[in-house]
């Protein structure tokens, strides 16, 4: 028993130490970004910015906050994240609910094709052709706002559907049968039984979709034709290219990269605010949706 207790103590000490070091490595880039954004130009170029700001200044944040296109792109990102997450959740929940039913005709085949997309990705060309075809359809019916294209065309993720399907399969069948006996329709069974009993998995998938939409760059940049419809990540990339191509005025009290760091810090704030409310469901949701009995 003493040896067992000692090994447990050693294991906990090592695990907590490694987790602490890992957490520091994860946190340091964000702390450095804040310090670099708040440090003066001489301190940044001389390499004196390591942990805390040096020659404190807030002009980089001020310039960002008074940039109109920054707020337009911020609003576009909120649009894509909010509607994109709702649309993706709706389609994923409906698909996962259908695939969780053994009475579904060709259920095994549908599940195989769903998982097959996780094994072998189609690549960029088929995706581009799909998005281009969707864009042409939108143009034909008068929808010229490409943000809706990003919302609709990116509304499905096979991995998240699998998580929700497994979570729905874990709901006791007796509860569903009792609801049907009481006269519940198929839609009522989904909304009153399956969704409330799978909140952890749904919250986890919502977190995955939300972060994916918030950080979306490639397809947003490729398919969005109007610069005023660019999301925040595309705007930051454009500003980064512009800063690298031209120098700021000599009177500017901050380095060009400090402006980029300021934009990055502003872009990550909503995720930091929302994540703690959903993180408590994360581990439970992955376990419920990722393990089948």
- Determine the length of the chain: 293
Is the CB of residue 220 less than 8 Å from the CB of residue 230?
yes
In angstroms, what CA-CA distances link 255 with 44, 51, 121?
7, 17, 41
* pLDDT, tens digit only, all 293 positions of the chain: 445 577 777 888 899 999 999 989 988 998 999 999 999 888 888 888 888 888 888 888 888 888 888 899 999 999 999 999 999 999 999 989 998 888 888 888 888 888 888 787 777 777 788 788 888 888 888 877 788 888 887 777 888 888 899 888 888 888 888 888 888 888 888 888 888 888 888 888 888 888 888 888 888 888 888 888 889 888 888 888 777 666 666 667 888 888 888 888 888 888 888 877 766 665 554 555 444 44
Taking every pair of C-alpha atoms in the chain, what is the biggest distance, in angstroms? 77
Q: Which long-range contacts (CB under 8 A, 24 or more apart) does 104-108 make?
A: none
What is the CATH code for 68-290?
1.10.3720.10
Tokens (6 digits) for 151:
């919302």
In the chain, domain spans: 2-45, 68-290
d(CA 199, CA 235): 34
DSSP string, 185-243: -HHHHIIIIIHHHTHHHHHHHHHHHHHHHHT--HHHHHH---GGG--HHHHHHHHHHHH
Helix (H) / strand (E) element for 116: namely: helix 107-119
Q: How far apart are the first and last CA of the chain?
A: 34
CA dihedral 154, 163, 86, 148 (to 10 degrees): 0
């Amino acid at each position: 028993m003493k040896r067992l207790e000692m090994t447990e103590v050693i294991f906990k000490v090592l695990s907590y130490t490694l987790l602490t070091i890992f957490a520091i490595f994860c946190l340091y880039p964000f702390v450095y970004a804040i310090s670099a954004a708040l440090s003066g130009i001489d301190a940044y170029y001389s390499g004196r910015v390591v942990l805390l700001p040096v020659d404190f200044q807030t002009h980089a944040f001020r310039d960002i906050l008074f940039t109109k296109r920054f707020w337009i792109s911020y609003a576009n990102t909120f649009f894509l994240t909010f509607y994109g997450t709702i649309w993706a959740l709706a389609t994923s929940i409906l698909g996962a609910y259908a695939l969780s039913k053994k009475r579904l005709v060709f259920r095994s085949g549908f599940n195989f094709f769903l998982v097959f997309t996780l094994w072998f990705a189609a690549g960029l060309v088929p995706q581009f052709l799909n998005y281009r075809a969707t864009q042409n359809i939108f143009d034909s019916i008068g929808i010229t706002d490409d943000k809706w294209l990003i919302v609709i065309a990116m509304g499905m993720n096979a991995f998240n559907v699998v998580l929700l399907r497994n979570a729905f399969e874990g709901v006791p069948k007796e509860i569903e049968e009792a609801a049907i006996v009481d006269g519940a329709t198929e839609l009522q069974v989904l909304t009153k039984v399956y969704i409330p009993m799978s909140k952890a998995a749904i919250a986890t998938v919502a977190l995955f979709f939300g972060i994916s939409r918030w950080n979306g760059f490639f397809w947003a940049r490729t398919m969005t034709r109007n610069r005023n419809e660019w999301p925040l990540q595309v705007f930051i990339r454009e500003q980064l290219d512009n800063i690298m191509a031209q120098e700021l005025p000599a009177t500017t009290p901050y380095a060009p990269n400090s402006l980029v760091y300021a934009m990055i810090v502003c872009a990550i704030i909503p995720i930091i605010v929302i994540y703690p409310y959903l993180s408590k469901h994360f581990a439970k949701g992955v376990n419920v949706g990722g393990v089948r009995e």
